[in-house]
Chain A
Amino acid sequence: MNINYLQQKAAEIRLKVIEGVSSAASGHPGGSLSISDILAVLYFDKMNITPKNPGNPDRDRFVLSKGHAAPAYYGALALSGYFDENEIKKLRTIGSFLQGHPDMIKVPGVDMSTGSLGQGLSAATGMALYAKRRNKKFHVYAIIGDGEMQEGQIWESFMTSAHYSLDNLTVFIDLNGLQIDGEVKDIMNNNPVREKLTAFGWNTIVIDGHSIPEIGAAIDAAKETFGKPTAIICNTIKGKGVSYMENKVSWHGAAPDANLAELAMEELGQQLKKLREVG
């Protein structure tokens, strides 16, 4: 695992997030930036993917259950070679296949359409059930949001995957603490997350969701866990990497204007430059 390389990829994904949402003048930068490191590790190290053959039946699956973080997802897919990076400038426009939320019919590499919160994790569970029953070797990954955990369906699928011992399913929980209307703990507290997941029969690992080595180690540990699914509970910062967005609920679903976008690109560009210098 080349940590510097993956940190660079995370920075590149973040640049794509800003490029996408600022071009579209809408979208969800905060929760995209909070999962960029996870996506970098999945798409550039851990997942078995074949971007030139997106439908490969043996590929690992990924479901972005918090579908509003599509800009980061599209960034990871484009940088992996699923489609032309320039498409990201057309995000959310009528002529583009890049919809506001991921669409599996339109976007190469998207394994499940998401956007309506709570449904993606169930779909990931269905994929894992298939693999388990048919002895397929692929692994299924999903990312859910902490606000998304307020959806009852999330807990229905937590029950299902534990019930069916789906150790081929690994779920990242993006615990950034913020949702549209404010702090998760104020809107509808869902703590303690780890204790709840443990009680539901899950293997749980708590990490810094921006630490590439911790993300990598947690995935390795998940794949060594048998008989139960793994939740990697990621402490993250909404807006991570763009100073003025960090921990600001207002950047959940708002795009930066041209000046602010430039500021963000500059900051992320500096981060990338530094990584390239030491890498």
Chain B
Amino acid sequence: MALSTREAYGEALRKLGAKYDFWVMDADLSKATKTDLFADAYPERFINMGIAEGNLMSTAAGLASCGQTVFASTFAIFATGRAFEQVRNSIAYTNLNVKVAATHGGVLIGPDGGSHQAIEDISNMRTLPNMTVVVPCDAASTYEAVEQAINLVGPVYLRFGRFPGDDVYKTGSCPFEIGKGNVLIDGNDVTLIAIGDMVPESIKAASILKQNGIDAAVIDMHTVKPIDAPLIIEYAAKTGAVVTAEDHNIIGGLGSAVAEVLAENCTARLGRIGVQDLFGRSGSKEELKKYYKLTAEDIAEKAMALVEYKRTRR
């Protein structure tokens, strides 16, 4: 059974805690964010701030100002919504070494419902100067993302999910460099660019497309900021059609980031799979995938429409 990215995050903290001197802070959600795994192993480097997310972020900044690396964890909605201005002024404006590591990003976190499903977190974090935004898609890439965040000086937003998905990479052999997208499948007809849970969905979409005679490339764009513009430009030129897929509002997230690159550099047609400017609702992960049209079939359908568009324009 694959690990969820939040579980992989907790495991990564626990393992990397032996190798690096960093701190972890949480706001009474350590059992859900899985920072409890670190807390149990390194209690002297763990600080529970209670249910006070704004205070969590500014206190983390003060700790980081003493030359420390700090992971500040809570749910994505609280980290980037309630505490947005603390992240902005205490962490990003100061360029301090705080990793805002949030779990429960997106609508696919399931039964908690719309109040807890962050659909705007990537957008919020992406607009902050100094902030790097990383969304790993499975356990192996989560481990790499956490280790690279430790080695990157400055603020990083890390977004993790709630439920397990299919593993994309093998543990220990995951190519991962912040700022460089990973081409998982090469192709010539259309490019699927995805993050998080939508990466395995895009891989499935590529096989659906293959059955329909369409040769799709799949890119894991784990770093949404700084986005890998050269790779987007290369694949837009090569395939002429791009579909983005994310468990996030289509406004402001991966789709917008890719659209910005395409609009300034390319003539490729873009389609965006994501939450269509709606709030979330309770349900199981699979039910919500269907409800919000985040399935492999939805991605494949969008890709086929773009390929058809290209054909009629030829």
Contact = CB atoms under 8 A, between A and B. Distances in A.
Contacts, number: 95
B26 to A, nearest CB: 13
B62 A125 contact: yes
A165 to B, nearest CB: 13
Contacts of B50: 156, 159-160, 163
15 contacts: A112-B61, A112-B65, A113-B90, A122-B57, A123-B58, A124-B62, A126-B65, A127-B62, A127-B63, A129-B59, A130-B66, A157-B55, A159-B52, A160-B59, A163-B50
B72 to A, nearest CB: 10
Interface residues of A, number: 32
A159 B57 CA distance: 15
Contacts of B94: 104-105, 112-113
B172 interface: no
Interface in A86-106: 103-105
A51 interface: no
A273 to B, nearest CB: 40
Interface of B: 44-45, 47, 49-50, 52, 54-55, 57-68, 85-86, 89-90, 93-95
B134 to A, nearest CB: 23
- Please classify the interface of chain B as helix (H, G, I), strand (E, B), loop, or mixed, using the class held by over half of its residues: helix
Contacts of B89: 113, 115-116, 119
Interface string A52-63: 000001000001
In the A-B complex, the 6 residue pairs with the closest CB atoms: A126-B62, A122-B58, A123-B62, A156-B55, A126-B63, A126-B59
B93 A112 contact: no
A138 to B, nearest CB: 9
A192 to B, nearest CB: 23
Interface in A116-148: 116, 118-120, 122-131, 133
Contact of A116 (B44, B55, B85): B85
Contacts of A157: 55, 58-59
Given A113-B94, A122-B90, A156 B54 contact: yes
B95 A123 contact: no
B49 to A, nearest CB: 6
B61 A123 contact: yes
A162 to B, nearest CB: 12
Nearest to A152: B54
Given A122-B61, A157-B59, 18 more contacts: A63-B62, A112-B65, A113-B89, A118-B54, A120-B58, A122-B55, A122-B86, A122-B90, A123-B59, A123-B61, A123-B65, A126-B61, A126-B65, A126-B66, A130-B68, A133-B44, A153-B86, A156-B52
